[in-house]
C-alpha cells in the first residue's frame, strides 16, 4: 500500500536520474517514489522543475499547507484517468437543480448520521451530550441548495457545542477558523486541511472532476468536490483523532504557538498529529458489502466510486455511514 509523505521541515525536492531527493541543510534523503501516493508540504519546500516533472510522471500530487495548518494549494498532475462520459454526466448532474439537490441531500444525511454517531458514542460513556437538536434537523425538507447548506451549518454548530463535554484538558467555546484563536480550533483547522488534501488525492485516482461539486458551490481556485466528500468523513478522521490526542494528553499546551495571527501547532505537535492521522488512515475494517478488510483511506476512494456509479445512472448513491 502506498503511503503519504509529510514534509514538516524546510528544504528542496530535486531529481537526480530516476530518484527524488529531499535536501535540507546538510542532509540529503532519497524518497521511494514508487511507495508514495502523495506529498504534503507543511513547511517552505521548494521543488525543482525536474522533480515536478518526475512526480507528475508517477502521478504523485503535492499539497501545500502553510505554517498555520491551512491548505494553500496543490500541484496536481494531469488527469491520467479520463472518461468523457463521466465528465459530461457530472456536469449535467451539477447543472440539473433537482439531481444536484438529491446528491447534496445524501451528503448531508451522511454528515448528520456520522456526527450523531460520534456524539452518541460519548453519550453512552456518561457524557452530558445534547444530540436531540441534530436529530430533529431534516435535510429532506430543503427545497434548494442554500436551505440545505443552512441545515448542514446548524448540524456542525450544534455538534461543536458539545465538544466541551467530551474534552478533558482544553476548553472550546465555538468554531473559529481564520485565524483559530485556541488549541482546539487550531486542531480542527489542521485536521480539516489534511483530510481535504487526502480526499483530493483520492478523487485524482477516479474519473471524477474535483472542481465540479454538488453541495458546495463550484468556484474558481478550489476543488469543491473535495469539500463535499471530506465533510462526510470529518467525525471519523478529524474529531475522533482530536479527542484522543487531547484527552490522553498526547498534545498539551506546549505543542502550540500563540501569535497575533492565531494559535497553531508547532513542529513537534504536527509530528504527533500526523503520526496519529496516518495510523488512522491505514486502520482497516471489514466492509459489510465487499466482505473484506479496507482501510479508512480506501473508504474515501470507495465513496468516489459510488458517486461515479450514481452519475452514470448505474446505482443510486448512498452516503458513507459509520456502521461500527
Which residues of the chain form CATH 1.20.120.920? 84-311
Buried b / exposed e over 252-280, threshold 16 CB at 10 Å, is: eeebbeeeeebbbbeeebbeebbebbbeb
Q: Write down the pLDDT at residue 220.
A: 66
Task: Confirm if 294 and 1 have CB atoms less than 8 A apart.
Answer: no
List pLDDT tens digits, range 227-277: 999 999 999 999 999 999 999 999 999 999 988 778 899 999 999 999 999
Task: Give burial (CB, 10 Å; 0-12/13-18/19+) of 77.
Answer: middle
Cell output for 261: 495571527
Q: Left, alpha or beta for 255 (phi > 0: left; psi -120 to 50: alpha)? A: alpha
Which homologous superfamily is 3-60 in? CRISPR-associated endonuclease Cas1, N-terminal domain (3.100.10.20)
Instruction: Give the pLDDT score at 221.
Output: 67
Strand, helix or coil for residue 8: coil
What pLDDT is recorded for position 15? 94
Q: Which CATH code, of 1.20.120.920, 2.40.110.10, 3.20.10.10, 3.40.190.10, is assigned to 84-311?
A: 1.20.120.920
Helices (H), 212-265: 224-234, 240-247
Within 10 A of 87 (CB to CB), how many other CB atoms are there? 16
Structural contact between residues 148 and 215, judged by C-beta atoms closer than 8 angstroms: yes
Q: Return d(Cα 75, Cα 280) in angstroms, integer.
A: 25
- Spatial separation of the C-alpha atoms in residues 147 and 224, rounded to whole Å: 18
Segments of the chain with pLDDT less than 50? none
pLDDT of residue 156: 96
Strands 62-65 and 36-41: parallel
Amino acid at each position: 500500500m502506498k503511503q503519504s509523505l509529510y514534509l514538516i521541515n524546510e528544504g528542496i525536492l530535486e531529481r537526480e536520474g530516476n530518484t527524488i531527493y529531499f535536501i535540507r541543510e546538510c542532509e540529503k534523503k532519497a524518497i521511494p517514489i514508487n511507495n508514495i501516493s502523495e506529498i504534503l508540504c507543511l513547511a517552505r519546500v521548494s521543488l525543482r522543475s525536474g522533480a515536478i516533472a518526475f512526480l507528475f510522471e508517477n502521478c504523485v500530487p503535492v499539497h501545500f499547507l502553510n505554517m498555520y495548518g491551512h491548505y494553500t494549494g496543490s500541484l496536481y498532475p494531469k488527469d491520467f484517468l479520463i472518461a468523457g462520459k463521466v465528465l459530461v454526466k457530472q456536469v449535467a448532474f451539477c447543472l440539473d437543480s433537482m439531481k444536484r439537490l438529491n446528491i447534496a441531500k445524501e451528503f448531508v444525511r451522511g454528515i448528520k448520521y456520522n456526527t450523531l454517531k460520534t456524539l452518541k458514542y460519548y453519550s453512552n460513556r456518561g457524557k452530558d451530550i445534547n444530540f436531540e437538536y441534530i436529530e430533529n434537523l431534516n435535510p429532506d425538507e430543503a427545497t434548494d441548495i442554500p436551505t440545505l447548506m443552512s441545515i448542514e451549518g446548524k448540524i456542525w454548530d450544534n455538534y461543536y457545542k458539545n465538544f466541551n463535554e467530551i474534552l478533558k484538558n482544553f476548553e472550546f467555546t465555538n468554531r473559529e477558523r481564520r485565524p483559530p484563536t485556541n488549541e482546539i480550533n487550531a486542531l480542527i483547522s489542521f485536521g480539516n486541511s489534511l483530510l481535504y488534501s487526502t480526499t483530493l488525492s483520492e478523487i485524482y485516482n477516479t474519473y471524477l472532476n474535483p472542481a465540479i461539486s454538488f453541495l458546495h458551490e463550484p468556484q474558481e481556485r478550489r476543488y469543491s468536490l473535495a469539500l463535499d466528500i471530506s465533510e462526510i468523513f470529518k467525525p471519523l478522521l478529524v474529531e475522533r483523532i482530536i479527542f484522543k490526542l487531547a484527552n490522553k494528553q498526547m498534545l498539551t499546551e506546549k505543542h502550540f504557538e500563540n501569535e497575533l495571527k492565531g494559535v497553531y501547532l508547532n513542529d513537534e505537535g504536527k509530528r504527533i498529529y500526523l503520526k496519529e492521522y496516518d495510523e488512522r488512515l491505514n486502520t482497516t475494517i471489514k466492509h459489510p458489502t465487499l466482505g473484506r478488510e479496507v482501510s479508512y483511506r480506501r473508504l474515501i476512494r470507495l465513496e468516489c466510486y459510488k458517486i461515479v456509479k450514481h452519475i452514470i445512472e448505474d446505482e443510486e448513491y448512498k452516503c458513507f455511514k459509520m456502521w461500527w
